[in-house]
Chain A
């Protein structure tokens, strides 16, 4: 019993022990007691190591799978590299969006299903700031950086405006308010009256239903990386007096040359560079959220999630904490909107910011496990690779290797063939309509998870909230060998009653 994980520790805390007081805060602290002999100090880095390992292993598996798809489809090097780039892009943007949402739902317990709306605010603000003044839909013509910062801030501010009144609501009411709010935002950007307008003599616009073009993060960020000495551009160190110099080739340049030598198109290489930038942003989000989660601020958020009344009773101004968390999450969502939906330098309100985008992000989070940052990244990657892109590729592979004949145009023709003993016709119909079926699959998986594994892959895991070592090796060791069961219980209750007040001093 001593070597069990946090999940078992939580099970032991159920009624028998009569712990009715302050469950919220010390629930997180006492899990260390649950993990038994391992000390927190040594377990934290190893946990991080194993988390990175998990993500790397998953991505390796995904790459292997899609390389297999590419080979089976006879893609050649360029095609395979391109496929992997696409999967990496999707995995990264979903991971980002899920991390931002995790701050709302996983940490603070705010049921926000308006993700698409806040992404729209960020992306639109960026486009309107960066669109050239001479474009059909004119903007301010500012550089991308200003647009990106402006978009992030705009999303945070709009989030704050939404949060001020809405956070008083029950979770299910908040859900309805946020999705309605997101739709209102989308309707505003779709308004034909706002297609172009003039503020203080400056012509601007949202482009209405036709959308708006502005700075293209893809190009800007890739160019930036290629302009950094040694990383992206070669450097010549002049040797005095000789008139020549030593040429230091750039890292990206040599990789790019090697890849192009293997037949990869320059555009695909650039796509990969953007994907790498996105991975760096994911790492940044992860670092930020982990820092927040382990900070006193994050502990209050988790306490609010578990029981807001208790957090308030402990003297925390929960409304302020919730608004801050909501604004921060919305700002991050705005940035995700810029880097994801805006990545081609063009957005429109009828395709990019539909409510289903929100639900995809939600499903990815639930797969990974809300409350866990590693789970968020894993969930985003799993959703993007296996549920979003995987079925299409699988079907293409089957299509390329099995002769099924042309698919019937309707399901009744397929059923008629099926009754006539022809199975291939139905199979061809199923494959021809895989785009619809994968969303059926998404729905079924969501139901399955809610019924059987509501905590997702990693959500059940408890992350240590306290920054100090809470385990008590001496006591565990003295009792451990004689009676393991007593030791386990002792560690559980001991940490619960003793560490609780200690850990409260934030």
Chain B
């Protein structure tokens, strides 16, 4: 009985949504091929493990940054193209403070605060890493979050607030302007040359057991998971979360119910930008090098994650981030490594076309 039902359902799918069926077929083929490769030894479990781990690490950053984008998208009703540059700005602010703390007295403050622009001081002089300079790293992370919050609130006051209630497209175009201004202000202040900011850390070894990840990856994973849990508790346990869900649902109704919408918008920016700033900092910590366009390059992946998970859902953003991160790395099994990003974008386009409400839709949790 169950079998015939599912066959009937499969046939219906094939007739009504042939493209969806095709996508599903491609997925199954890939899965079978993956098992075949593992069985024949074309692909070692170790390589697969590395891909998966890298995917999770990248995915967590994307997911963490995606929470903010998802929140502003659902509450302010526009796709914020400046979000990637909030990430870059947070990263620069955080690393500037890390360098100042780590290098104070050893190098010129002016060179430290520019994270080594001009080539007077190098990361090898400072040896910044979570094991060598934990205080500087933690402080940098906090500054990254705080600075991005202040910046996002200031930009909201100057740019977006006068445009409140306008169409999403107008806000989107304005956010492209913000993105340009921010990105090239970073170039103006910090220069355009990519540079190393942190030491390559050793692999984590506890009580004689060496793990497959290094200290910075561990910091990234612990930091982002902690923040995600924190946001979950904040939004589920407080009135703020409820107000946000109400606003995302219907702003006018929320306002006449007595929800202070402007305050909620401010909190949206605070949470979203704070997470974006910290995500930027952690991204650079793990990668080891900083550049003014890191966030901008990441932006489309973040959009992909947010859309995948369903706009407005923070759990969706996290899950979407992991899926996108994994797609970006695991697709290396089949695709050349300079083409994996295209696979992630393609996944996003397919989701937008066939399931625009996201794969985890149904519950629009804040």
A188: nearest chain-B partner, CB-CB? B342
Proximity bits, A175-218, B CB within 8 Å = 1, else 0: 11101110110011011110000000000000001000000000
Candidates A181, A209, A443; contact of B177 at CB < 8 Å: A443
Q: Does B334 reach chain A (CB closer than 8 Å)?
A: no
Q: Does A228 reach chain B (CB closer than 8 Å)?
A: no
Candidates B170, B182, B185, B336; contact of A450 at CB < 8 Å: B170
Q: Does A366 reach chain B (CB closer than 8 Å)?
A: yes
Are B177 and A446 closer than 8 Å at their CB atoms? yes
Are A410 and B118 closer than 8 Å at their CB atoms? yes
A: interface residue count bin: 35 or more
A409 to B349, CA, bound (A): 44
Interface members, chain A 17-49 (any B CB < 8 Å): none
Are B348 and A180 closer than 8 Å at their CB atoms? yes
Given contacts A172-B168, A410-B111, A411-B114, contact A179 B300 (CB under 8 A): yes
B: interface residue count bin: 35 or more
B187: nearest chain-A partner, CB-CB? A436
Are A439 and B183 closer than 8 Å at their CB atoms? yes
B184: nearest chain-A partner, CB-CB? A439
User: Most chain-A Cβ atoms within 10 A of its Cβ — which of B113, B174, B307?
Assistant: B174
Q: Shortest Cβ distance from B20 into chain A, in angstroms?
A: 12
Candidates A165, A176, A416, A443; contact of B307 at CB < 8 Å: A176
Question: What is the predominant secondary structure among interface residues of chain B facing chain A?
Answer: helix
* B183 proximity list for chain A (CB < 8 A): 439
Q: Does A314 reach chain B (CB closer than 8 Å)?
A: no
Are A187 and B348 closer than 8 Å at their CB atoms? no
Are A437 and B173 closer than 8 Å at their CB atoms? no
Are B111 and A175 closer than 8 Å at their CB atoms? no
* A411 proximity list for chain B (CB < 8 A): 114, 117, 188-189
* B119 proximity list for chain A (CB < 8 A): 409
Q: Shortest Cβ distance from A47 into chain B, in angstroms?
A: 28
Are A443 and B304 closer than 8 Å at their CB atoms? no
A190 to B120, CA, bound (A): 35
Q: Shortest Cβ distance from B350 into chain A, in angstroms?
A: 9
Are B110 and A165 closer than 8 Å at their CB atoms? no
User: Most chain-B Cβ atoms within 10 A of its Cβ — which of A188, A415, A442, A443?
Assistant: A443
Q: Shortest Cβ distance from A463 into chain B, in angstroms?
A: 21
Are B188 and A436 closer than 8 Å at their CB atoms? yes
Q: Does A169 reach chain B (CB closer than 8 Å)?
A: yes
Q: Shortest Cβ distance from B314 into chain A, in angstroms?
A: 19
Candidates B110, B117, B182, B349; contact of A181 at CB < 8 Å: B349
Q: Does A166 reach chain B (CB closer than 8 Å)?
A: yes
Candidates B177, B191, B338; contact of A410 at CB < 8 Å: B191
Q: Shortest Cβ distance from A305 into chain B, in angstroms?
A: 12
A181 to B348, CA, bound (A): 10
* B174 proximity list for chain A (CB < 8 A): 446-447, 450-451
A172 to B175, CA, bound (A): 13
A387 to B185, CA, bound (A): 16
Q: Shortest Cβ distance from B336 into chain A, in angstroms?
A: 5
A411 to B189, CA, bound (A): 6
Q: Shortest Cβ distance from A160 into chain B, in angstroms?
A: 15
A209 to B300, CA, bound (A): 21
Given contacts A410-B110, A412-B114, contact A447 B177 (CB under 8 A): yes
Q: Does A71 reach chain B (CB closer than 8 Å)?
A: no
* A168 proximity list for chain B (CB < 8 A): 353
Are B178 and A187 closer than 8 Å at their CB atoms? no
Q: Does B127 reach chain A (CB closer than 8 Å)?
A: no
A445 to B188, CA, bound (A): 18
Q: Does B50 reach chain A (CB closer than 8 Å)?
A: no
* B110 proximity list for chain A (CB < 8 A): 410, 412-413, 415-416
Q: Which 5 A-B pairs give the minimum distances between C-beta atoms?
A: A412-B110, A446-B177, A443-B180, A443-B181, A410-B118
Give 20 A-B pairs besides A193-B336, A410-B117, A443-B184 with Cβ atoms closer than 8 angstroms: A165-B353, A172-B78, A176-B303, A177-B349, A180-B303, A180-B345, A180-B349, A183-B300, A366-B173, A410-B118, A413-B118, A416-B110, A436-B187, A436-B192, A440-B181, A443-B182, A446-B173, A450-B170, A450-B171, A451-B162
Instruction: Pull 13 A–B residue pairs with CB atoms less than 8 Å apart, ordered by A.
Output: A166-B349, A171-B168, A180-B345, A183-B341, A187-B339, A439-B183, A444-B177, A444-B181, A446-B173, A447-B159, A447-B174, A450-B177, A451-B162
